[in-house]
Structure 1
Amino acid sequence: MAEQSLYALATPTALGSRGFFTTMLTWDGEGDVDLHTFEPGGAHVYYSNMRGQVGMLDVDNVVANGPEHYYASCDPAVLQEGTYRIGINNYARATGRTATVQVTFAQGGQPVTRVLGVGAERGNGGNSTPIPVLTVNVAKDANGKLVATAQ
């Protein structure tokens, strides 16, 4: 019986695309917490503007737990050097929740993870000033290769 149940399991459909760097937001329960990315060229990527100059928010969860997912283009002609500011906004119904934001990198290395409270419900008022979580810096190394680091 248990073996039949195991064979009946299906692999879930993957959500989100991989990028030069990828940011994923999850939280521990119901509510709508939004991921915000401010790109170096000035684009503000979030649920109301899902495509930036460099990347896009390709997963937006408005019910519970996440994920929300942003990825930056791997195309060197599109990728911008500079600082990407990552933030979150408790849009609705998530007061008291804890968020986890993780950044991973196409070039490898340790993912960077931050865990923080989502704060008070802010609705649209929090879109222009989300809670700062971390920054991702994209720059050329000594060999002229683009690399991303987070802090």
Structure 2
Amino acid sequence: MAEQGLASLVTPNAAGSRGFFTTMLTWDGSGDVDLHTFEPGGAHVYFSHPGGQVGALDLDNTVANGPEHYYASCNTAQLQEGSYRFGINNYLGATGRTATVQVTFAQGGQPVTRELAVGAERATGGNHDPLPVLTVSVARDANGKFQATAH
């Protein structure tokens, strides 16, 4: 009986867009954890404002495990130099969970991964003051080509 139930499970498609860099949040269980992005031009991208000046939050999971997914445009006319700050908010029911945030880059290189406790439930109180996770810096090199690094 249990084997039949397991065999009937279908993995949902949750494919996010690929960008100059992408940031994905997952967590280890139930609850709603939100990914927040602060773009260099001042846009705050999160579930309530999924479109920014540079990128977008194209996946927002409100039940369990994630993913939440932000991507920065590959369009050089849209991509901005500067710091992209990422944070998380335990919006509802994820106290005690561990979050994993991973950044990958279109130009290749090693992905950067951070794990942290999601902290206490903060609901809307954490929307404008999320727990800081990492920063992605985007700059042009001597040849005018965009480069991105996470720290």
Calculate the TM-score normalised by the size of structure 2.
0.92
Whole-angstrom CA distance in 2 between matches of 1:11 and 1:93: 23
Alignment partner of 2:142: what SS? coil
Aligned letter for 1:67? P
Does the CA contact (< 8 Å) of 2:14 and 2:59 recur in 1? no
2:24 matched to which residue of 1? 24
Whole-angstrom CA distance in 1 between matches of 2:10 and 2:126: 38
2:142 matched to which residue of 1? 142
Does the CA contact (< 8 Å) of 2:86 and 2:135 recur in 1? yes
CA positional deviation for 1:143: 1.7
2:100 matched to which residue of 1? 100
CA positional deviation for 1:144: 1.4
Whole-angstrom CA distance in 1 between matches of 2:97 and 2:14: 25
1:2-151 alignment, distance < 5 Å: 13-151=13-151
Whole-angstrom CA distance in 2 between matches of 1:28 and 1:124: 21
1:4 matched to which residue of 2? none
Greater Cα offset, 137-146 or 117-126: 137-146
CA positional deviation for 1:10: 7.8
Aligned letter for 2:46? Y
Q: Which runs of 5+ in 1 are unaligned?
A: 1-7
Whole-angstrom CA distance in 2 between matches of 1:124 and 1:133: 18
Superposition RMSD on alpha carbons, in Å?
1.5
Whole-angstrom CA distance in 2 between matches of 1:82 and 1:34: 23
User: Hey, which bits of structure 1, 4+ residues long, moved more than 4 A?
Assistant: 8-12
Q: Which runs of 5+ in 2 are unaligned?
A: 1-7
Whole-angstrom CA distance in 2 between matches of 1:80 and 1:90: 28
> What is the total number of aligned residue pairs between the two structures?
144
Alignment partner of 1:136: what SS? strand
Whole-angstrom CA distance in 1 between matches of 2:30 and 2:129: 22
148 and 38 in structure 1: CA distance in 2 versus 1, 3 angstrom threshold:
same
Whole-angstrom CA distance in 1 between matches of 2:50 and 2:10: 30
- Deviation per CA, 1:52-108: give whole Å up to 9, x if none: 000000000000000000000000000000000000000000000000000000000
- Deviation per CA, 1:12-71: give whole Å up to 9, x if none: 635100000000000000000000000000000000000000000000000000000000
CA positional deviation for 1:141: 1.2
Alignment partner of 1:30: what SS? coil
129 and 10 in structure 1: CA distance in 2 versus 1, 3 angstrom threshold:
closer
Whole-angstrom CA distance in 2 between matches of 1:73 and 1:11: 28
Greater Cα offset, 138-147 or 124-133: 138-147
